[in-house]
Amino acid sequence: MAIRLNGDFVVKRRPEDVYDFLTDPQKFGALLPDTEGLVVQDATHFAIKAKVRAGFVRGTAEVKMELAEADRPRRAKYQGQGSVPGGGMALTAEFDLSPSDGGTKVAWQGETQLSGALAFGGSFLESMARKNQQKLIDSLRGALEQGIPL
């Protein structure tokens, strides 16, 4: 089962600043929903543990993330693989940045693929995956708009 979302937003930050935020594993990793732990391995790899509570699925997800594409200040793409109770997951998060009226337009797309018993979780798990993708984007936008030091 693959769940895809995309959209865009504009923030009053320079593309270089937005890119630097996106590609910092400490900053970006902390935005992932329900994160309980973050271990940075190097500048392009980190792992998270996240709480999972969705219907019959309960436990901790362990996800290894990689900054798979990095083109400063235009594009960043993350890929992740992980295990969750009842199956596995793969995810991507892509960000294309462009100047826009004194700020930056962030065009994003995300995909979550569930496997194993999770793939048969139906609309409930699809709804949860969409909700988590949107939480990530809302957290990113909020961090960039609230003037948090980059």
- 98-131 pLDDT per residue, tens: 999 889 999 999 898 878 765 555 565 667 777 8
Position 69, amino acid = E
Per DSSP, the three-state class of 99 is strand
- 150 or 44, which is more confident: 44
Q: What percent of the chain has pLDDT over 90?
A: 52
**What DSSP line would sit under 3-36, residue for residue?**
EEEEEEEEESS-HHHHHHHHT-HHHHHHHSTTEE
pLDDT for position 92: 94
pLDDT for position 119: 56
pLDDT for position 86: 73
Average pLDDT over residues 129-150: 80
Radius of gyration in angstroms for the set of CA atoms belonging to the chain, rounded to a whole number:
15
Give the strand order in the sheet containing 103-116: 2-11, 103-116, 87-100, 75-84, 57-71, 45-54, 35-42
Distance CA 34, CA 36 (A): 6
Say if CB 72 and CB 85 are below 8 A apart.
no
Position 128, amino acid = M
pLDDT above 70 for 87 = yes
Domain map (residue ranges) of the chain: 2-145
Say if CB 38 and CB 48 are below 8 A apart.
yes
pLDDT above 90 for 50 = no
Domain 2-145 class in CATH: alpha beta
